[in-house]
Amino acid sequence: MTSTATIPQRIINRYDGHEHGALLIALGGMHGNEPAGVKAIETVFEMLAQEPSKNSNFRFKGRFLGLRGNLSALHAHCRQIEKDLNRQFTTQNIHRLKKLTRNGVKI
Ligand SMILES: [Zn+2]
């Protein structure tokens, strides 16, 4: 039996505040067997959608962006596919990515 579910999208949602401010990025699901972070981010967006009707004084400055981490692993409900993404923030990898972006490569 094959799964008909599609691979989840990177962007969970975004919320644009009433005024300019900081960009807050929340990343959930770095490990595909840990969906709680994605669920928590989805809950925050549900709360942000409801809050203005419940609280007339509600103001949100800036932007909130929710992202999923390891899309393939989340789809497969397993920790990782090839590498543990949460162990890839090494100095060597950060330098490699900075070099790529300096050369105009979009990542
Ligand atoms: Zn984890």
Residue pLDDT, tens place only, 10-45 = 999 999 998 999 999 999 999 999 999 999 999 999
Q: How far is the CA of 100 from the centre of ligand 1 (A)?
A: 27
62 and 22 Cβ atoms separated by less than 8 Å:
yes
For residues 74-87, give the mean pLDDT: 92
Q: How far is the CA of 1 from the centre of ligand 1 (A)?
A: 29
Domain ranges of the chain: 11-102
Q: Using the Cα atoms of residue 14, residue 18, residue 24 and residue 28 in order, give the sign of their dihedral.
A: negative
Q: How far is the CA of 73 from the centre of ligand 1 (A)?
A: 12
Is the confidence at residue 7, as pLDDT, over 90?
A: no
Q: How far is the CA of 31 from the centre of ligand 1 (A)?
A: 5
Could you give the count of Cα atoms lying within 13 Å of 60 in the half-sphere of its Cβ? 18
User: pTM for this one?
Assistant: 0.80
